[in-house]
Amino acid sequence: MKLKILVLTNLFPHPWDPLRGTFNRQQFGRLGREHEVDVLTAVDFRERMRRPAGEFSAENVNTDHFTFYYPPRFGRALHALCWLLCLLWQRGRKLRAANYDCVLASWAYPDGVAAGWVARYLGIPYVMKVHGSDLNVQAAFALRRPQISHALRHARAVVTVSKALADKATEMGTDAARVHVIYNGVDAALFAPGPRADARARLGLSIDEPLLLYVGNLKETKGCVDLVNALPSVLDHHPDARVAFVGSGACRAALLHRAQALGCADRLMLPGAVAHDALGDWFRAASVLCLPSHNEGVPNVVLEAMACGVPVVATRVGGIPEVVPAYAGILVPPHDPERLAAALLDALDAPWQGQAIAAHARGYCWDDNIVRLDAILQAAATRSTASMGAAA
């Protein structure tokens, strides 16, 4: 059955952040080949104020956005209500007329909580997809946790990107039978092994220097500063090594300041955010991908780096241990630059088998992901239709 699906999320490209939520762009675009998918993206009002609108692309889905206004310095427990009111104020009439079969909410708070209310307002079921810090961090706050728990328990199904998140959802009272682990996929057309020398030549990088690569938002909880703090120990053994931080974010200035204090600022590269379809060369150019996050779901950059045959040094948090076997990387505790430095040195000296790493990553396939997500959405909508028929 072809469904009409409303996706509600903040994790999707929009005119003020064209590179946002590339994993959702990939997933929803593939879902849109089978169903009619409308993606309605919440845009933080501060984001609209900070930068001009740009161009973005999203295939096979209909896109729209609304502006999310909220009190920025207090009242985080009210953000789901603010999210709901902004949505209904700006797009309520359009939603009522659309005749959707179900809602798919991507991100638990405030998006998923508000989406649950929207679904009940529209009289349709909702499926909630959680990613990482929306449960690992947001649910730790006393006034937000009951809202998230209620939304999870009343969703027709909950989709998680890792077993660790599935366990957390059930700990919060969700029926385990309604929780589904679906790992994100990797686009094999973009991420596959290739000659390192060729990738470095295209990026204008030295062929011989060890290159530690970080890809993602530059923020403290991603462990960016931990990586800079680990760098001097790496340079003691590999003085020609460099670290490339591919991404943008509030931590950029802090990284430079800390590197200057440690005397290694000249070994940092900060090329900024890079389009998703241009990341393949950065992975293939890298000696090691390093992601020292303090909390995670299953970051796609880890899967994409491994798909290029690149070993990973990351923290043992969230779902990362579920997808990084010992022959593909080294895992360390978070908040520990000394252990991180030792792991990076071991990784630079180890005889990794790139083809075996890439073969492992090929098991994370978008086609399989969509088949499973499609079945969950079909079941949610079919059960809703059956319930309405019985009630009539």
User: Is the pLDDT reported for residue 53 higher than 80?
Assistant: yes
Per-residue pLDDT tens for 190-202?
A: 999 999 999 999 9
User: Is the pLDDT reported for residue 388 higher than 60?
Assistant: no
Per-residue pLDDT tens for 61-73?
A: 999 999 999 998 7
The answer to the question of residue 101 being in a domain is: yes
Tokens of 186: 């990797």
183 vs 365: CA distance, rounded Å? 9
* Average pLDDT, integer, range 356-364: 97
Domain count, the chain: 2
**Do 222 and 322 fall within a single domain?**
yes
Place of tokens 């492992």: 360
The answer to the question of residue 347 being in a domain is: yes
**Neighbour tally for 73: CB within 10 Å:** 5
Residues 6+ apart with CB under 8 A from 4: 35, 36, 38, 98, 99, 100, 101
Per-residue pLDDT tens for 155-186?
A: 999 999 999 999 999 999 999 999 999 999 99
* Average pLDDT, integer, range 323-351: 97
Per-residue pLDDT tens for 3-17?
A: 999 999 999 999 999
Tokens of 228: 């800079």
76 vs 134: CA distance, rounded Å? 13
**Do 357 and 372 fall within a single domain?**
no
The answer to the question of residue 320 being in a domain is: yes
> In whole numbers, what is the pLDDT of the chain averaged over residues?
95
Please work out, in degrees rounded to the nearest 5, the angle formed at the alpha carbon of residue 88 by the alpha carbons of 84 and 92. 145
Q: Give the model's confidence band at 56: pLDDT under 50 very low, under 70 low, under 90 confident, else very high.
A: confident
Per-residue pLDDT tens for 286-330?
A: 999 999 999 999 999 999 999 999 999 999 999 999 999 999 999
Q: Give the model's confidence band at 351: pLDDT under 50 very low, under 70 low, under 90 confident, else very high.
A: very high
Name the residue range of residue 290's domain: 196-361
Per-residue pLDDT tens for 116-132?
A: 999 999 999 999 999 99
pLDDT at res. 158 = 98
**Do 326 and 209 fall within a single domain?**
yes
**Do 385 and 357 fall within a single domain?**
no
pLDDT at res. 390 = 40
**Do 38 and 60 fall within a single domain?**
yes
The answer to the question of residue 25 being in a domain is: yes
User: Is the pLDDT reported for residue 392 higher than 80?
Assistant: no
What letter would DSSP give residue 288?
Answer: E
Which is nearest to 282 in space by CA: 365, 222, 350, 196?
Answer: 196
**Do 123 and 212 fall within a single domain?**
no
User: What is the pTM (predicted TM-score) of this model?
Assistant: 0.92
pLDDT at res. 252 = 94
**Do 149 and 217 fall within a single domain?**
no
The answer to the question of residue 166 being in a domain is: yes
Tokens of 312: 């990973």
Tokens of 331: 């895992």
Q: Quick one: what percent of the chain has pLDDT higher than 70?
A: 97
The answer to the question of residue 191 being in a domain is: no
**Do 103 and 248 fall within a single domain?**
no
**Do 158 and 44 fall within a single domain?**
yes
**Do 344 and 387 fall within a single domain?**
no
Which one-letter amino acid corresponds to residue 104? L
Tokens of 99: 């005749």
Q: Give the model's confidence band at 384: pLDDT under 50 very low, under 70 low, under 90 confident, else very high.
A: low
Per-residue pLDDT tens for 253-271?
A: 999 999 999 999 999 999 9
**Neighbour tally for 51: CB within 10 Å:** 10
230 vs 347: CA distance, rounded Å? 14
126 vs 154: CA distance, rounded Å? 8
Which is nearest to 6 in space by CA: 96, 103, 126?
Answer: 103
Which is nearest to 21 in space by CA: 37, 6, 8, 32?
Answer: 8
Phi, psi at residue 43, to the nearest 5°? -110, 120
**Do 25 and 160 fall within a single domain?**
yes
The answer to the question of residue 190 being in a domain is: no
Cis peptide preceding 110, ω within 30 of 0: yes
pLDDT at res. 387 = 52
364 vs 104: CA distance, rounded Å? 22
Helix (H, G, I), strand (E, B) or coil at 245: strand
Residues in a beta bridge with 37: 5
pLDDT at res. 74 = 82
Which one-letter amino acid corresponds to residue 37? V
What letter would DSSP give residue 186?
Answer: B
Q: Quick one: what percent of the chain has pLDDT higher than 90?
A: 93
Structural contact between residues 154 and 125, judged by C-beta atoms closer than 8 angstroms = no
Structural contact between residues 128 and 112, judged by C-beta atoms closer than 8 angstroms = yes
* Average pLDDT, integer, range 142-155: 97
